[in-house]
Amino acid sequence: MSTLLLLLATGLGLGALYFLVASGLSLIYGLMGVLNFAHGAFLSAGAYGTWWASQHLPGAGPDGAGFWLAVTFGVAVGAVLAALVELLLIRPLYRRHIEQVLVTVGLSLAAVALLQGIWGSDPIPFPRPSWTAGTVRVAGAAIPADRFLLIAAALAVLGGLLALLRYTRVGLVIRAGVENRSMVEALGIDVRRTFTLVFAVGGAAAALAGALGSVYLGSVTPQQGTSLLIFAFIVVVIGGLGSVTGSAAAAVVVGLVQQLANYYAASGVGDLSVVLLLAFVLLARPQGLSGRTA
């Protein structure tokens, strides 16, 4: 029983990490129709920003409030980068989907090359809080504490995004702008500024995934964003393109399937199981678990 609990907790932690990456993807596509292949660059920016801040930013460090200060800096870097990408590259290409894909794919490749050129290709040890290296006893199972950190962060992001979309004026403007942009602009509301905010929020979520994911992985690498982005896209497709709640449910399923298959079958079978799950969902329910926005 303790082994099963450990596997379930680890699967939930992995699913939480996937959701943190997928939530921004789902938000940006669901509200703006932009399939952003450069999303992994925002994740890497958050990871490297947090690592750099822990080494150089006054007051930042691996423990206590210093860790959260470093994470805040990394999240801010991801949000600013996302806003700049929307302003400079995406805004001129709305409704030109092929060009959007080419630009974001090129940006993702350039980001990896830039990080490799500055810090090299080797993994860099990530400064993680000392308490995340410990375990928590739950019904006899020793569960790594960093799993709870990821799960708590994912729940907070999910609640924050749903509250933003459903209960704030900004969320109302975003949804109205998606439905009828011309009418909203006729009311004197700058929809372009709101869409930049959506991109920044998505980038912040990805950057948070980069920072906390590096705690989970123990290191940061230039390819980290690309590898996690693959599973994030699978989660978004299974959950239903544009559905944040669907992505949350899909992330839990994907994390559990991957973890259980790796343990009970063989190492590496988990990745194959996730791909097979994606194929089954596309055949049985092409719109995903929840084929609607939010």
CA dist., res. 228 & res. 203, Å (int): 14
| pLDDT (tens place) for every residue of the chain, 294 residues total | 677 787 888 888 889 999 999 888 888 877 777 778 888 899 999 999 998 988 878 777 677 778 888 899 999 999 999 999 888 888 887 777 788 888 888 888 998 899 888 888 888 888 888 777 777 777 766 777 888 889 999 999 999 888 888 888 777 776 666 566 666 666 667 677 777 888 899 899 999 998 888 888 888 888 888 888 888 888 988 888 777 888 899 999 999 988 888 888 777 787 888 888 888 888 888 777 775 545
Closest CA to 50 of 22, 78, 84: 78
Closest CA to 60 of 74, 76, 79, 46: 74
| Share of the chain residues as helix, strand and coil, in percent rounded to the nearest 5 | 75, 5, 20
Closest CA to 281 of 244, 229, 241, 242: 241
pTM higher than 0.75, yes or no?
A: yes
Query: Is 170 exposed, middle or buried (CB count within 10 Å of its CB: 0-12, 13-18, 19+)?
Result: middle
Q: What is residue 156's predicted lDDT score, i.e. its pLDDT?
A: 93
Q: What is residue 175's predicted lDDT score, i.e. its pLDDT?
A: 66
CB 225 within 8 A of CB 9: no
